Chain A
Amino acid sequence: MTSNPPKTDDLGAWTERVLATDLAEIRAAERDVLTRLRELAYDDDHLFAVRLAFEEALVNAMKHGNQLDPSRSVRIAYRISPERVEIRVADEGTGFNPGVVPDPTSDENLEKPCGRGIMLMRCYMDKVEFSPQGNEVFMVKNRQP
Chain B
Amino acid sequence: MKIRTNTEGLCQVVAISGSADVNASALLREALLGAIEGGATRLVCDLTETDFICSDALGVLITAYLKATGRGGFVKLANPQPHLTEVLETTRLNRLFDVYADVSCALASA
Interface string of A96-117 (1 = CB under 8 A from B): 0000000011000011111111
Main secondary structure of the interface of B (DSSP, over half): helix
Give CA–CA (A45, B87) in the complex, Å. 12
A113 contacts B23, CB within 8 Å?
no
Inter-chain contacts of A110 with B (CB < 8 A):
92-93, 95-96
Interface size band for A: 20 to 34
Name the distance in Å between A52's Cβ and chain B's nearest Cβ. 7
Known: A113-B60, A114-B59. A55 touches B91 (CB 8 A): no
Set of chain A residues within 8 Å of B83, measured between Cβ atoms? 44-45, 48
B contact residues, total (Cβ < 8 Å): 22
Say which residue of A24, A26, A27, A105 sits within 8 Å of B91 (CB atoms): A105
Of the candidates B55, B90, B96, which one forms a contact with A117 in the assembled complex, judged by CB atoms under 8 Å apart?
B55
B56 interface residue per 8 A CB criterion: yes
In contact, A59 and B56 (Cβ under 8 angstroms) = yes
Query: Hey, which chain B residues are within 8 Å of A120, CB to CB?
Result: 55, 87, 90-91
CA distance A113 to B96 in the complex (A): 12
- How far apart sit A116 and B87, CA to CA, in the bound complex (Å)? 11
A119 pairs with B91, CB closer than 8 A: yes
Cβ contact within 8 Å between A112 and B21 = no
Nearest 3 Cβ contacts at the A-B interface: A113-B59, A116-B55, A105-B92
- Chain B interface (Cβ < 8 Å from any Cβ of A): 21-23, 52, 54-56, 58-60, 62-63, 65-66, 83, 87, 90-93, 95-96
User: Contact residues of A with B, CB < 8 Å?
Assistant: 23-24, 26-27, 44-45, 48, 51-52, 55-56, 59, 104-105, 110-117, 119-120, 123-124
